[in-house]
Amino acid sequence: MEQNILTTFMLPASLFIIMLGLGLTLQATDFKRIFTYPKAIFIGITNQMIILPIVGFTIAFLLNLEPELAVGLMILAACPGGVTSNLFSHLSNGDTALSVTLTAISSTISIITIPLIVNFGLVQFMSENQEIHLPVIKTIVQIMVITVIPIGLGMLARFKKPDFAFKMEKPVKVASAIILFVIVLGVIGVERERIPGYFERVGIAVALLNIFTMLVGFYTAKIGKLSLPQSITIALESGLQNGTLGIVIAISILYNTEMSVPAAVYSLIMFATGGFMVWRFGRGKESTKI
């Protein structure tokens, strides 16, 4: 795919804004929760960083996905949770503080893990004459620029202007979800003639990835004897990935629109499954832990 305004500016800029919004919700104390909730953090990060990529690879292999779509699924599985998972965790009466903490930690760790997991997918699924390598150092720098740096700027703004950050927290979360939806629509628009075929070719795979990892997240949390709000949050953090980042990696770093299709289709499906979690758990009187 040739570079254009979408790949060179709009996608990275949109992700920058989303991650800046995440930073507005964070404080240094969020990272200290590693010591406050060590078991919950360990279960959540294990699901996101280890189990999710294994499940993604297994689904791509067993369903014999086409090479670009298989790599796209691996890109998605390598991505951390996003702002959308924080929003759905809040609406589902999950542990919002745990959700934000897991998103922050996984976003930081993924700077290193994304290039490794994506390169593994490229080696496994692309034929020798099509093989692409993701430059590790360059990719780490690019991911830092569009994720970690805006998070840091958002945290700084919260530290300097806490009242402003508090007022903006909910509007920014909603705006982030809308931006994600618009990005997905943009990708679908570019590939509109082939989208029905993409749903047929990758819809089952991404639905399995989404639903299975949510179930694994929920029940590993229950086995770990975590509370219901914590179990809800870990299910959502395990199953709702940063689809925007997946699209950016595919289009703006690998310059391959087809590899972005799993993330785009997944982003639509996760709104449905996230909505189910809100319907199932968000109607009770139990307040969200913050």
- DSSP string covering 111-135, please? HHHHHHHHHHHHHHHS-TTT-----
Q: Is 121 in contact with 70 (CB distance < 8 Å)?
A: yes
pLDDT of residue 226: 92
pLDDT tens track for 48-100: 999 999 999 999 999 999 999 999 999 999 998 877 787 788 788 888 778 87
Report if residue 289 sits inside a domain: no
- Residue 240 falls within a domain, yes or no? yes
What are 151-172's pLDDT values in tens digits? Answer: 788 888 888 888 877 777 777 7
Assigned domain for 177 exists:
yes
Measure CA 17 to chain center: 15
Each residue's pLDDT tens digit, 173-229: 677 667 766 766 666 666 667 667 777 889 999 999 999 999 999 999 999 999 999
Q: Is 265 inside any structural domain?
A: yes
CA distance 252 to 12: 8
Q: Which two tokens stand for residue 57?
A: 């690879």
d(CA 200, CA 244): 22
Q: Is residue 290 part of a domain?
A: no
| Domain CATH code at residue 60 | 1.20.1530.20
Q: Is 230 helix (H, G, I), strand (E, B) or coil?
A: helix
| Full domain range(s) for residue 64 | 5-277
Count of domains forming the chain? 1
More confident position, 36 or 286:
36
Q: What is the pLDDT of residue 3?
A: 43
Residue 64's pLDDT is what?
A: 92
Mean of the pLDDT values across residues 119-146?
74
CA dist 242 and 150 (Å) reads 15
pLDDT tier at 126, thresholds 50, 70, 90: confident
